[in-house]
Structure 1
Amino acid sequence: MCAVESVGEPGKPAINVSTYSGADNLSKPNTQSARHFRSYDELKKDFQKINVNIKTDPEIINEIMTEMKQNNSSDERLAIILEDLSYYLHQIDNARIFSKNGFETLLQLLHHPSYEVKKASLKAIGAATQGNSEVKVVALQSGLVDQLHSFLKACINGQDSLEFSTLLSGVVSTLSALLRDFPYAQKQFFSTSGISPSGFELLAQLSRRNASKGIQGLRVRILTLLTYLYSERLDAQKDFEEGPTKTKMDVWNMYASIPFEESFLMYGFCETLHISLLQDVQRGNEYNDLSAPVNHDIREKVITACLKFFNVCGWESSNFSNKQHILNLLDSIIDEYKLRSESDTDDINSYFTDMLLKVQRFRNMLKPYELPRTDL
Structure 2
Amino acid sequence: MSNVYGRPCSCSEVRKMLVLWMLSLLIAVAASENSQSGLTVLEDSGSDGTGHDEAHVNDEFDDEDLEVFQPTNQWQTLKPGQAVPRGSHVRLNLQTGQREAKLGEEQQARYLRDGQRAVNTKTPSFTAQELKETLKLFKEGVDDPTHPQRREEEEALKAKFRPLEELKRDLAELDMRVESDVEIMRRLITKFNSSDATVEERVKALHDLEYLVHQVDNAQNLVSMGGMKLVISALNSSDFGLQGNAAFVLGSAISSNPSVQVDVTEGGALLKLLTLLATPRPVPVKKKALFAVASLLRHFPYAQGHFLKLGGMQVLVDLFQTPGGEALRIRIVTLIYDMIVEKELISQSGMDQIPDSSYQERLRQYSEVALLPVLAEQGWCRLVPALLASSEHDWREKALRTLLAMMPCCQAEFRQDRALSLSLGDLQTQYRELVLTEKDLGDEEGYFGEILVLLDTVALKMQ
Q: Same fold (TM over 0.5)?
A: yes
Could you say what secondary structure the match of 1:110 adopts?
helix
CA distance in 1, matches of 2:429, 2:195: 57
Could you say what secondary structure the match of 2:349 adopts?
helix
Match for residue 308 of structure 1? 405
The one-character-per-residue Cα deviations of 1:283-319 (angstroms, maximum 9, x if unpaired) are xxxxxxxxxxxx4543443333233223332264243
Query: How do residues 260-299 of structure 1 correspond to structure 2 at under 5 angstroms?
Result: 260-278=371-389, 281-282=390-391, 295-299=392-396
Whether 1:186 and 2:304 are equivalent positions in the alignment is: yes
Q: Give the Å deviation of 1:201.
A: 2.0
The one-character-per-residue Cα deviations of 1:149-195 (angstroms, maximum 9, x if unpaired) are 33333x1xx3xxxx72222222111001111111111111112xxx3
Quickly say closer, same or farther: Cα 1:370–1:119, change in 2 above 3 A. Answer: closer
Whether 1:66 and 2:184 are equivalent positions in the alignment is: no
Query: How do residues 16-27 of structure 1 correspond to structure 2 at under 5 angstroms?
Result: none
Match for residue 221 of structure 1? 331
Whether 1:325 and 2:438 are equivalent positions in the alignment is: no
Could you say what secondary structure the match of 1:366 adopts?
helix
CA distance in 2, matches of 1:50, 1:336: 69
Could you say what secondary structure the match of 2:401 adopts?
helix
Match for residue 115 of structure 1? 240
CA contact (8 A) 2:343 2:366 kept: yes
What residue ranges of structure 1 are gaps of 5+ in the alignment? 1-44, 283-294, 372-376
Amino acid in structure 2 at the alignment position of 1:327: G
Q: Give the Å deviation of 1:270.
A: 1.1
Match for residue 33 of structure 1? none
Quickly say closer, same or farther: Cα 1:316–1:114, change in 2 above 3 A. Answer: closer
CA contact (8 A) 2:192 2:201 kept: no
Match for residue 322 of structure 2? 209
CA distance in 1, matches of 2:303, 2:314: 16
The one-character-per-residue Cα deviations of 1:255-295 (angstroms, maximum 9, x if unpaired) are 111211111100011111011222xx21xxxxxxxxxxxx4
Q: Give the Å deviation of 1:370.
A: 8.0
Amino acid in structure 2 at the alignment position of 1:260: L
CA contact (8 A) 1:110 1:118 kept: yes
CA distance in 1, matches of 2:462, 2:359: 41
| Aligned-residue identity in percent | 20
Q: Give the Å deviation of 1:93.
A: 0.7
Match for residue 104 of structure 1? 229
* TM-score (structure 1 length as normaliser): 0.69
Q: Give the Å deviation of 1:341.
A: 7.6
Quickly say closer, same or farther: Cα 1:93–1:248, change in 2 above 3 A. Answer: closer
Match for residue 136 of structure 1? 261
The one-character-per-residue Cα deviations of 1:2-40 (angstroms, maximum 9, x if unpaired) are xxxxxxxxxxxxxxxxxxxxxxxxxxxxxxxxxxxxxxx
Amino acid in structure 1 at the alignment position of 2:172: K
Match for residue 365 of structure 1? 457
Q: Give the Å deviation of 1:54.
A: 1.3
Match for residue 16 of structure 1? none
Aligned pair partner of 1:174 in 292, 296, 311 = 292
CA contact (8 A) 1:111 1:118 kept: yes
Kindly name which structure, 1 or 2, has the bigger radius of gyration based on alpha carbons: 2
CA distance in 2, matches of 1:76, 1:340: 51
CA distance in 2, matches of 1:331, 1:250: 47
CA contact (8 A) 1:47 1:54 kept: no
Q: Give the Å deviation of 1:320.
A: 2.6
CA contact (8 A) 1:89 1:128 kept: yes
Quickly say closer, same or farther: Cα 1:341–1:72, change in 2 above 3 A. Answer: farther
Could you say what secondary structure the match of 2:195 adopts?
coil
Question: How much is the aligned-residue C-alpha RMSD, in angstroms?
Answer: 2.9
Could you say what secondary structure the match of 1:99 adopts?
helix
* TM-score (structure 2 length as normaliser): 0.57
CA distance in 1, matches of 2:415, 2:386: 14
What residue ranges of structure 2 are gaps of 5+ in the alignment? 1-167
Quickly say closer, same or farther: Cα 1:121–1:362, change in 2 above 3 A. Answer: same
CA distance in 2, matches of 1:186, 1:142: 15
Could you say what secondary structure the match of 2:407 adopts?
coil
CA contact (8 A) 1:236 1:252 kept: yes
The one-character-per-residue Cα deviations of 1:114-141 (angstroms, maximum 9, x if unpaired) are 2222111111111110111111111112
Aligned pairs, number:
292
CA contact (8 A) 1:240 1:249 kept: no
CA contact (8 A) 1:240 1:252 kept: no
Match for residue 29 of structure 1? none
CA distance in 2, matches of 1:243, 1:209: 44
Higher relative contact order (CA 8 A, sep 6+): 1
Q: Give the Å deviation of 1:113.
A: 2.2
Q: Give the Å deviation of 1:224.
A: 1.0
Match for residue 271 of structure 2? 146
Query: How do residues 67-86 of structure 1 correspond to structure 2 at under 5 angstroms?
Result: 67-86=191-210
CA contact (8 A) 1:337 1:356 kept: yes
